[in-house]
Structure 1
Amino acid sequence: MSDIIQILPDSVANQIAAGEVVQRPASVVKELVENAIDAGSTSIKINLKDAGKTLIQIIDNGCGMSATDARLAFERHATSKIKAAKDLFAIRTMGFRGEALASIAAIANVELKTKRTEDELGTHLVIDGSELASQDSIACPPGSNFIVKNLFYNVPARRKFLKANSTELRNIITEFQRITLANPEIEFQLIHNDAEVYNLTPSNTRQRIVNIFGRSINTRLISIDTNTSIVKLTGFIGKPKNAKKRTDEQFFFVNDRYMRHPYFHKAVLLAYDKILPPDTIPPYFIFFEVDPKIIDINIHPTKTEIKFEDEQAIFQIIQASIREALGKFNIVPSIDFDEDTSLEIPVAGQNSEIEAPMIKVNPEFNPFEADSNYNPFDGEKSYNPFDEERKSFESNQFYQEFKAKTPPPSSTPTKKEVPEKWETLYEEPAKKEKEEKLSQAAIDRENIPDYFQPQQSMPEFTQKTLQPKEQIQKAKNFFQLKNKYILTPIRSGLMIIDQRKAHERILFEKFINSLENHQGIAQQTLFPQTIELNASDYTLLQVIIEDVRALGFDIREFGKKTFVINGTPADIQNCEPKELVENLLANYKSNQMDVKLKVRENLAKSLAKASALNYGKTLSNEEMSSILDQLFACTTPNFTPDGKAIISVLESQELESRFK
């Protein structure tokens, strides 16, 4: 039998590596921009076509490469940052494994123009599918200019699974934000289809956050700064009242490298325990500075997961730092960390004698003597400010006549003053309460109001989707429990309805009908409101703007990354337009994880969840009746669009069994 083991060609090995390193256009942008940062660039320009599927161009003013280095850079595992295994534990650069350029060149058409400052001419390379097509000298400015065209052109299966341009662009913007936040001293420019998305000038960290996420975030930031022997923490956290349901404003950076860390994320949430609105996450931008020897960043191909040597200690430091910052801004009760408020407690010496404190007491003091004005702790007569008023009152003629007619109090109580059955005063409370309950008369059924009487005639409930079929009383008796549940008696027992979930189902079916028929009715606001969005939300809203208008929104683009809201759907009441749009976009992005969900269904589902009736609202009997009438008119009244139960029935048999 012949040998079957063989060495893979470099082109095939590079394509396999590209499956781990290059997952989408955003991965290419990340790797090339990180290389530009490692090259010492102070200005980086990113130019995209069709969300990177057609063109990704990265231009920097870094150190550039010689002709030999430019050619070797596309070889697998070629790197200038590691020479020995020990260097893996002292990494401070962004890239180091030498897989990125080889992987990108294996699945795209790549051009490179690069030149060092000391060279007269630069180098122009053209590589197609890992094969060098040409290498020439060229006149170009110092730095590097990478051009990646036709991503996945030779791997059609990978290209077929790329998402829509709007989705891929948002992924690129996410990677762009992570890199630019960690490097505020570098100038960045992002252009998509000849339209400028970002133009970030060099600044400090706070200003970079404002430039990326909008001016409104500036007033919501609280700074943190903690320095310990293990780690140094700096950055900003958000105020609890401004926490949102969105999860795109949470960032961890270690040594200026973005990372994901669920354990540290939990530490942040625990620091905000009991002060956050329900189902919200505060924004945070936390930077770790640690010794590279105590972390391992070589555990994931994209280098976004990092191991720490002492994670439990850092967990506690994160909690303490955030609570200290919240305490300084009076968000939660805390001690003053800026002033020395320690108490000086005297400590007795070993040979010192302990003397008991002496208290002077006036033995002649009698509080029942009218003329006594002595202080029992002084031993001397003290001034009583009410003494003159008392003497004036006692000298009054009416007081003297009243005193003469009033007999002196007896030292022993009369017979009438002795309470009857005084022995029962000393009986055990539980025994007494039990006897009182037994002595109560039975409740007369005639005293029960008609409101609670069972009705003789009840219309049949014919919804096929509700199992089992129930019959609701004609009188429609409704009760609200904890401003969260609606209770109503039915023939088989007690029906319990979750008011928020019921309203969410009602709104969802209304919005679906509006999208299908394009009959959304807008209710004009008294004063138009403008909303400034970050680049990701701005791009998303541009894509779904027509469907948003079909729901009943009167919304128009108004300047750069800004929309003006003139009206909201008439079915939505008591909702702030800006908050409604923000929650709509946040829910829409979270629902995109469900690949089976269509765009319009996702939009209706997101808006229903953003505008549904909140818990804690007191409802009138008419409002509860209206909710149930609309719910049972829905095609699927039992479940929310997410598949959560809306209705629960407590059977009469179960109620009876509880009292046996």
Structure 2
Amino acid sequence: MSDIIKLLPDAVANQIAAGEVIQRPSSAVKELLENAIDAEATNIQLFIKDAGRTLVQVIDNGKGMSETDARMCFERHATSKINEASDLWAIRTMGFRGEALASIAAIARVELKTRNNQSTLGTEIVMEGSQLIEQKQCNCAKGTNIQIKSLFYNTPARRNFLKNDSIEKGHILQELFRVALAYPAIAFSFTNNTELTYQFDKANLKQRISAVFGSAYSQRLVPVEEKTDMVSISGYVVKPEFSKKRRGEQYFFVNNRFIRSSYFNHAVENAFEELISTDLVPGYFLYLEIDPAQIDVNVHPTKTEIKFQDEKYIYQILRAAIKRALGRFNITPTLDFEQETGLGSMIFPKDRPIVAPTTTYNPDFNPFHGQQTASRLHTNLTGRINPAHWEKLFDAPTQPEKATLQPTQLPTTETPQAIGMPWHSSENMPETQKVMQLQRRYILTPVKSGLMLIDQQRAHERILFEGFFKKFESKKLSSQHLLFPENITLSEPDAALLREILEHVRAFGFAIDVLGKNTFVVGAVPHEVVENEGLQTMMEGILENYRLNLNDQQTDIATNMARSMARRLAIKSDKTLTDTEMMHLINTLFTCQIPEISPSGKPVLIIVPMNDLTARFK
């Protein structure tokens, strides 16, 4: 039998490797940007056409390459970052595998121009399908200018699997944002189809975050800072009230390298556990500095997965650092966090003298001083009595048959008791219409068959959804004009989505126009919008809900808009409602066509039958 195992040609091997390294245009952008950073560039320009299908170009002012290096960089496993295996445990550069350019040259037409400081002329190289087409000297600026044209031209199956331009552009922007956030001291620019879209000047981290995600973020960030012998943590977390349902603003960097870590993400979520609801996720921009010998970055070709030697300890330090930061800025209850000992400063010197604890007291203090006691007692009573039912302390009951709380039934303890009916009721309402709010989330009201519980947020969502949809179909949406038009500036993804659905947004009562690249001016809003609702935050919430609803393929744009606006404008679960508001909510809910189900398909109300209640007491 003849031999059947053969050594693959380099061109075929490079195409196979490219399938793992270069998965889409954004993968090529990531590799080129990282190469520019490793070349110590201070200004990096990114150009794309047709979402990277036609052109991906990166120009930097870095060190550049010699003629020999320019040709060698397209060979497999050719790199300037490491020399031997032990170097893998001391990696500080972004790249080190030597696969990217060889993989890109195997599936695209690549044109490279580069020059270093020692050369008066640069080198121009043209590669196509791993083959050298042309190499010559050229006149070019110091640094590197590399163009990738017709990506996946010889792998049509991979090209056909690419998504539409909007999605592919979003992936490219995500790679740009990650690199720009990791290196705020480097200037970046992004040009899409000859239009300059982003210009990030050299800045500090907070300024860079605001430049990427909008100027409003400067007021949403809480700084995090912690240094220990094992790891140094810095960066920002987003205030709990600005948490979102999507994981779009979660960035971990280890030694300035973007990584994904569900384990550390859990540490952040655990720190926010009692501050946000379970359907929201916190935003963060966290930077970890660790000794390279304690991590392994050679796990995956994309280099976004890292193995840590002591990840359990880092988890605890990260969680404690975030909790401490939130406490220091009065976002969580705290006990003098400013004077709390740092996590890395808990070692006491051996020669530290031992001092016995002491206490101080006021020898002239008299707890039975009449005026002071009377004042304190008066304050406690008035502070704990419910003023809405003060008359029940003095008036005799007019209906003895009712099971009401009588003054003679009050506890006889010395501690002043809060006085007030637990049921929110109105004397003018019939017995069947009495309501109670439970935990500022549910409305309880008796019905003939038992007890009905209503989720106040979902009920309001159903009311708003049907109201928006009916008005949209009848073209009778009303608006309230603002006294002064207000400008809002959105992130690039949000601005692109808003421009896409702008006509539908106007159809729901917004008077909104494009003012600039990512800036819009709002002159009127639907009358359902409350006065203290921030337009910037409201529009971001509507667009976020709209994206979440896109997973439902059967939802049209109008229905999606109605659901998104209802979700954003509905009263939240933590809001206290008056009797009148609760009764109005219940009465309006039962005028809806489908009062039992929320627009997202979840139950609005449940009824506990009397038989079940009776069985509970047996």
TM-score (norm 1): 0.73
Aligned in 2, Cα 1:451/1:347: closer, same or farther, shift over 3 Å?
closer
Q: Separation in 2 of the partners of 1:18 and 1:298?
A: 17
Aligned in 2, Cα 1:95/1:605: closer, same or farther, shift over 3 Å?
farther
5 Å-filtered alignment, 1:10-25, equals: 10-25=10-25
Amino acid paired to 2:226 = T
Residues 63 and 143 in structure 1, CA contact (< 8 A), matched pair in contact too: yes
Aligned residues between the structures: 539
Q: Separation in 1 of the partners of 2:542 and 2:241?
A: 19
Q: Separation in 2 of the partners of 1:480 and 1:291?
A: 54
> Structure 1 unaligned runs (5+)?
349-374, 378-383, 387-448, 454-475
Higher Cα Rg: structure 1 or 2?
1
Residues 460 and 570 in structure 2, CA contact (< 8 A), matched pair in contact too: yes
Give the equivalent residue in structure 2 for 1:155. 155
Give the equivalent residue in structure 1 for 2:585. 623
How far has the Cα of 1:506 moved from its partner?
A: 4.4
Amino acid paired to 1:290 = I
Give the equivalent residue in structure 1 for 2:569. 611
Q: Separation in 1 of the partners of 2:473 and 2:82?
A: 59
Q: Separation in 2 of the partners of 1:56 and 1:93?
A: 23
Aligned in 2, Cα 1:450/1:511: closer, same or farther, shift over 3 Å?
closer
Deviates more, 1:516-525 or 1:159-168: 516-525
Q: Separation in 2 of the partners of 1:60 and 1:592?
A: 38
5 Å-filtered alignment, 1:70-469, equals: 70-245=70-245, 247-276=247-276, 279-331=279-331, 332-335=333-336, 337=338, 346-347=355-356, 451-452=430-431
Amino acid paired to 2:455 = D
Answer yes or no: is 1:646 the counterpart of 2:609: no
Give the equivalent residue in structure 2 for 1:569. 526
5 Å-filtered alignment, 1:500-579, equals: 500-509=457-466, 511=468, 520-573=477-530, 575-579=533-537
How far has the Cα of 1:319 moved from its partner?
A: 2.6
- 1:467-488 alpha-carbon deviations (Å, 9 max, x no partner): xxxxxxxxx8876554433556
Deviates more, 1:60-69 or 1:613-622: 613-622
Q: Separation in 1 of the partners of 2:99 and 2:120?
A: 30
Q: What is the DSSP-based 3-state SS (H/G/I as helix, E as strand, rest coil) of the residue aligned with 2:590?
A: helix
Aligned in 2, Cα 1:330/1:82: closer, same or farther, shift over 3 Å?
same
5 Å-filtered alignment, 1:4-15, equals: 4-15=4-15
Answer yes or no: is 1:586 the counterpart of 2:544: yes
Q: Separation in 2 of the partners of 1:595 and 1:67?
A: 53
How far has the Cα of 1:187 moved from its partner?
A: 1.4
Give the equivalent residue in structure 1 for 2:37. 37
Considering only aligned residues, what root-mean-square deviation do their CA atoms show, in Å?
Answer: 3.5
Residues 245 and 583 in structure 1, CA contact (< 8 A), matched pair in contact too: no
Deviates more, 1:5-14 or 1:30-39: 5-14
Deviates more, 1:320-329 or 1:185-194: 320-329
Residues 549 and 555 in structure 1, CA contact (< 8 A), matched pair in contact too: yes
Q: Separation in 2 of the partners of 1:563 and 1:46?
A: 26
How far has the Cα of 1:94 moved from its partner?
A: 0.5
Deviates more, 1:45-54 or 1:510-519: 510-519
Q: Separation in 2 of the partners of 1:513 and 1:151?
A: 48
Residues 461 and 566 in structure 2, CA contact (< 8 A), matched pair in contact too: yes
Amino acid paired to 2:500 = V
Q: Separation in 2 of the partners of 1:596 and 1:29?
A: 34
Aligned in 2, Cα 1:297/1:340: closer, same or farther, shift over 3 Å?
closer
Residues 328 and 336 in structure 1, CA contact (< 8 A), matched pair in contact too: yes
- 1:235-287 alpha-carbon deviations (Å, 9 max, x no partner): 23334445455533332211111112222222223334434477544443221
How far has the Cα of 1:224 moved from its partner?
A: 3.0
Amino acid paired to 1:549 = R
Q: Separation in 2 of the partners of 1:557 and 1:566?
A: 12
Aligned in 2, Cα 1:644/1:524: closer, same or farther, shift over 3 Å?
same
Aligned in 2, Cα 1:597/1:339: closer, same or farther, shift over 3 Å?
closer
Q: What is the DSSP-based 3-state SS (H/G/I as helix, E as strand, rest coil) of the residue aligned with 1:141?
A: coil
How far has the Cα of 1:509 moved from its partner?
A: 5.0
Residues 488 and 535 in structure 2, CA contact (< 8 A), matched pair in contact too: no
Q: What is the DSSP-based 3-state SS (H/G/I as helix, E as strand, rest coil) of the residue aligned with 2:461?
A: helix
Amino acid paired to 1:531 = I
Q: Separation in 2 of the partners of 1:172 and 1:302?
A: 15
Residues 113 and 146 in structure 1, CA contact (< 8 A), matched pair in contact too: yes
Q: Separation in 2 of the partners of 1:160 and 1:598?
A: 26
Percent of paired sites with the same residue: 47
> Structure 2 unaligned runs (5+)?
343-347, 358-363, 372-427
